[in-house]
Amino acid sequence: MKYTKKERQRLLLETLDKNPFITDENLASTFKVSVQTIRLDRMELSIPELRERIKSVAAHNFEEEVKSLPIDEVIGEIIDIDLDKQAISLLDITQDHVFARNGIARGHHLFAQANSLAVAVINDELALTRKSNITFVQPVKAGDRVIAKAVVLSSDPEKNSTLIKVTSKVENETVFVGEFNMYRETMT
């Protein structure tokens, strides 16, 4: 279906309101126009590019401060966090993250994103990984955006232990699952 410019821009605003993390390429495909048309629409509507939208959402959602590690040491960009409950991060896979011969992301990047998110979600000055059980479900390639969600499953104050499950997805398809048994210095 071909939209008028006015209709497309209205739908573009609605789409970005529902999902601020959608790429220009996905928007172009959705509206069956060129990426350049989407960029021009965004400029006319004063909608920032994806990276700026991510930073804006992250800044809005960081009412609580990550205590367990500096935010710049988290692998990926944290876009939402509720300490001791859940957190979400994004990692864009680039050519630097993949094997040259097949274009598949090296597993340690997915693990690092998940592990650092499991550390970040803990509301404590010290959080360390005691044990992890991970599964790589399917390959991730250059150009993919990995969205990782960490959920605190349980805490044991006697053992200073917290169990966290991290599920990583690309376009709603699970690519990585990990359970992280975390040591924490204190239990609040």
pLDDT tens, position by position, 144-154:
999 999 999 99
Domains of the chain: 5-47 (1.10.10.10), 56-184 (3.10.129.10)
The span from the CA of 19 to the CA of 27, in Å, is: 11
Blockwise average pLDDT, block size 10, the chain, 188 residues: 89 84 85 91 82 59 58 79 88 94 96 94 88 96 94 91 96 95 80
Q: What's the residue count for the chain?
A: 188
Estimate to the nearest angstrom the gap between the alpha carbon of 18 and the chain centroid. Answer: 16
What's the pLDDT score for residue 165? 98
**Taking Cα atoms as reference points, which of 149, 157, 150 lies closest to residue 124?**
157
**Taking Cα atoms as reference points, which of 177, 150, 147, 176 lies closest to residue 163?**
150
